[in-house]
């Protein structure tokens, strides 16, 4: 009964603070402070200060602002235009035509961004005007872009995986490598959906572009060389064991600066704009992590996570049933919170029950990213829906409707991960990792 009262108090204070517009990080600290004062005899102020300092001074967390800065730099280059020029000749003859540029473009940019919003905005700048001009259906143009942009959360470097790794003290490098195969698999499933639309709705197909000579295709592919080289440096250095996630992030920033300098996009305005954009985003995430760390400590002192994990264990749920329950749980939470907040808010309770069920934490990290991806395109707070609404000026309901098939594919992806867990665990088990 005591655990019930604890849960009610925590949830009441949390939703009260969030409902009054308090920042998420401060709301988490407020909930934790109330919990410490009401249900423990420990000094809440001292515990808060110590926890905030410890959580914000983690060396592993250094990778977060660096990867964000790399994405901000590339966002301000001519990368989007060059990507379309390099991809279009190869995508045009596939079933579904240039709609595949949405999926492949998001996959490539996700490998240097880590943010679904940055991926959506950058690829949207290049693809939406071109696909509209060529007569592709608006429903497919918007839906495939909104769904594919969520790949920025899975394909490394992923900000969500960094936050997850720091929260549960797991290797960031292993989590990054674990996201590669599932990310490519999900991208392939998105492309199969585009191909299925091509054959199912022949009347909606636009006229194909005139065929291009193979030599001309190769010549246009030169625009993809810089970004592919940057991806290979960042991901390859981690996979081969030459760099930790933080060192790979530093390589990525240097590479992005060199790339923008060669393109002629690096000006004092773009440099300081990228720096300030990265600072704002990093500060926001750091505040959320501080609040989540204090909340985890507070809940640990009250014993609530252990009690809830014990209650779940007493139900003797199978692993599959637990995964189904957690999938529904995170989809509901994702309707009201962004992905990073969902992860840090729930991990104090979810981690003990996952460990108790014997679920691999690397695999669970990839599962978390997939369900958080779903939350990006579910109303009322699906962040990608708002970004897409701002780009296209369509009503939020219409944008959500276009993304519904992509949501269904992500649900199918959860099933694929359950049936083939090696998809997420095989690569991390083979890497030669350096200590982080």
DSSP character string of 345-399: HHHHHHHHHHHHTT--HHHHHHHHHHHHHHHHTSSSS-HHHHHHHHHH---HHHH
For CA atoms 99, 105, 110, 116, give the dihedral sign.
Answer: negative
Average pLDDT (420-435) is 78
Span of 182-191, 227-236, 275-284, 377-386 with lowest mean pLDDT: 377-386
Which of the four pLDDT bands, split at 50, 70 and 90, describes residue 80? low
Q: Does the pLDDT at position 77 exceed 80?
A: no
Please tell me the distance from the alpha carbon of residue 267 to that of residue 1, in angstroms, as a whole number: 62
Instruction: Give the pLDDT score at 189.
Output: 95
Q: Does the pLDDT at position 1 exceed 60?
A: no
Instruction: Give the pLDDT score at 351.
Output: 83
Q: Does the pLDDT at position 236 exceed 60?
A: yes
Q: Please give the mean pLDDT across all residues of the chain.
A: 80
Q: Does the pLDDT at position 274 exceed 90?
A: no
Span of 2-11, 190-199, 331-340, 382-391 with lowest mean pLDDT: 2-11
Span of 91-105, 118-132, 364-378 with lowest mean pLDDT: 118-132
Q: Does the pLDDT at position 47 exceed 90?
A: no
Token pair recorded at residue 309: 């994990």
CA gyration radius, the chain: 22
Please tell me the distance from the alpha carbon of residue 180 to that of residue 182, in angstroms, as a whole number: 6
Instruction: Give the pLDDT score at 4.
Output: 61
Q: Does the pLDDT at position 108 exceed 80?
A: yes
Instruction: Give the pLDDT score at 116.
Output: 74
């Amino acid at each position: 009964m005591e655990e019930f009262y604890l849960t009610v108090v925590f949830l009441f204070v949390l939703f009260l603070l969030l409902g009054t517009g308090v920042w998420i990080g401060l709301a988490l600290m407020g909930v934790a402070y109330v919990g410490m004062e009401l249900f423990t005899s420990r000094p809440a102020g001292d515990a808060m200060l110590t926890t905030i300092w410890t959580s914000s001074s983690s060396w592993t967390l250094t990778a977060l602002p660096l990867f964000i800065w790399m994405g901000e730099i590339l966002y301000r280059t001519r990368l989007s235009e060059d990507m379309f020029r390099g991809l279009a000749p190869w995508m045009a003859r596939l079933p579904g035509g240039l709609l595949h540029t949405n999926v492949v473009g998001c996959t490539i940019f996700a490998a240097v961004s880590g943010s679904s919003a940055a991926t959506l905005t950058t690829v949207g700048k290049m693809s939406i005007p071109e696909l509209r001009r060529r007569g592709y259906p608006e429903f497919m143009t918007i839906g495939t872009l909104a769904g594919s942009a969520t790949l920025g959360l899975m394909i490394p470097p992923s900000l969500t995986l960094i936050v997850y790794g720091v929260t549960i003290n797991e290797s960031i490098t292993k989590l990054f490598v674990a996201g590669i195969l599932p990310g490519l698999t999900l991208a392939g499933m998105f492309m199969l959906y585009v191909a299925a639309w091509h054959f199912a709705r022949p009347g909606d197909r636009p006229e194909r572009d005139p065929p291009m000579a193979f030599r001309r295709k190769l010549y246009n592919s030169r625009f993809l060389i810089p970004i592919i080289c940057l991806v290979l440096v960042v991901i390859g250095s981690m996979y081969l064991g030459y760099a930790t996630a933080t060192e790979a992030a530093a390589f990525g920033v240097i590479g992005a600066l060199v790339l923008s300098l060669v393109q002629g996009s690096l000006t004092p305005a773009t440099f300081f704009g990228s720096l300030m954009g990265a600072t704002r985003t990093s500060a926001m995430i750091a505040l959320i992590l501080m609040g989540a760390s204090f909340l985890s400590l507070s809940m640990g002192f009250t014993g609530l996570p252990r009690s809830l994990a014990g209650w779940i264990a007493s139900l003797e749920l199978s692993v599959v049933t637990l995964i189904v329950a957690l999938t529904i749980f995170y989809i509901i939470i994702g309707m009201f919170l962004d992905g990073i907040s969902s992860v840090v808010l729930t991990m104090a309770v979810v981690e003990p029950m996952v460990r108790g069920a014997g679920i691999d934490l690397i695999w669970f990290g990839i599962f978390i990213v997939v369900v958080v991806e779903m939350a990006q395109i579910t109303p009322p707070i699906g962040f990608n829906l708002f970004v897409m609404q701002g780009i296209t000026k369509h009503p939020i309901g219409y944008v959500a409707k276009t993304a519904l098939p992509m949501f269904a594919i992500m649900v199918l992806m959860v099933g694929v991960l359950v049936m083939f867990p090696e998809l997420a665990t095989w690569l991390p088990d083979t890497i030669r990792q350096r200590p982080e």
